[in-house]
Structure 1
Amino acid sequence: MTRPTSTSTEQTADGAEDFTTGEGLRALLNRLAEGGEDAWVHDPVARDLMEFAADKYRALARKHRLDTWEAVTAAFDAMQYRSTREANDPWAIITHAVRITCVYEERAQGLLCSVHQARRAHVSAFHDPERFSERDTALADYHPAFHTTDLRPSDLEPEPRDSLGSAQACMSAGSAAEDAIAMLCLLDWPADTARAAVEHVCGALTKAGTRQSAYETLRRDRHARALLDLPRRSWAALLKALLGNPHPAYVATSSGRGILLRLLLGETLDLLLRDDDLILALALAAPSGGGGESS
């Protein structure tokens, strides 16, 4: 809602124009607008107005990490509009314009683009650019764009690569489970513990459908570990050995595939027993009399 222009001028006790009020500012802006292009240059009250605006918007500019006179420039631009002079509260219009300008000026500096571009929604939606050195962790260690692996012929085969419990793989899955149990027994795991653990993992794998989902479910399954009476160290090593290391960097390696998938893909028990890293991990994790470690 706008108000008609007014020619009256509010004055302070010493006779100067009181531009700190809405009506006083309106009167001053009307007089400057009628004075032509040179009015802002030669009028002493205009200088006082800009100094007052600098004090008024200094905190707002500092909040957005801007120089005070950038906010003053935005205020000066808003004062030139007729809509500002005719508004119910000219200072409210100017303050709003300064705030909006400061917001987009800050976004433009963060995005390394112009203020005009930063005002566009499809541009301001992006986050500020980051330097590689701004994080303690290397970019390749956490960004998914760098987690790529070379595909092998077996990686292009249809499931049951990630669905070991499918109907077509029932016979081979059962054989793989028996070989896994036999391997654990050869590495000093108690026979009853090895069988119960492998069967529980296979059951969870059938329900989950993928090795990664089964691994995450079983890793947090304290109830199952308590029933199997396995220490946390042994349980963690067993899951990683049977289902593979879930980290994307190991997806195409023997460590990432796990014992069950390697057996399904045609590796034999004798071949698995030649994997020194696997054998050492399972041998060191063999339970020696129950789950004595705390959760």
Structure 2
Amino acid sequence: MREPSSEPLPDFTTGEGLRVLLEQLTAEQLWRTHPAARALMQYAQEKYLPLARSWHRDPADAAYEAFMAMRTPAIRRAADPWAAITRAVELGIAAEVHAERLLTSTDKARRPDHRPDEYPMRAGHYETFFYHVLAAATPPASPTVAVERVVRSASVFLVTTGWYPRTIETAVEYICHRLTTLASAQSAIDVLRKDDAMRQRLGFSARDWNGLLRLLLGPRSKKEATGADPARLGIFARLLLGDRTEDLLADHQLAAISRKFTRGTAA
């Protein structure tokens, strides 16, 4: 094993500097001895601290995912090594969370096609959600309360049919907010379908985002709606017309459509 070089270290905070350092650490087998390796991992842990916190994970988990990614040739060949590492950390942490939630291995959780159609559920896993629904069963005292009831009930239905809780709650609240700030439901649907920034921020594929909008808001036009389409009214409309979460869950066609979209979600 060679000793660390006395040459000035590259600036690993840049993509090219990181590539040069990774090539040196790997080729000369200096990961355990080079002072830059320790500095790099400290920097990575600080860099991905917000990401770890957003998933309620230990920052060391994010640093570990970054370390594992840095040792692969794909990162060194990437056009933007830091961007590739960030994506690897996101996927790695998401897989760990999925594995815990689905009671399966991290390897299987990384591959959506290997996940079970019906997710196993721990006792009391959605207890808080259902308490919210029962508490909101009384007649709303104001429009704000009514909106909160719709958001909570829609979130319960979607979580129960397989959508990831933290992501779907934020998405439902955002879609509901946009719906109330635009002139019409049609305008809201058109704007939200093109809202790639929020879609990507929440981690949805275009397919799943459009599927979620169709579930919540209904089809874009009368031409898309059919009498046999269980999502023709949209979940928001059904809840406002008096349906409860139990009614939505009892609609097996609607529940099946919702589960179909969750198979492609990343989180």
TM tier, shorter chain? 0.3 to 0.5
Per the normalisation by structure 1, the TM-score is: 0.39
If asked which structure has higher relative contact order (CA below 8 Å, sep 6+), I would say 2
Per the normalisation by structure 2, the TM-score is: 0.43
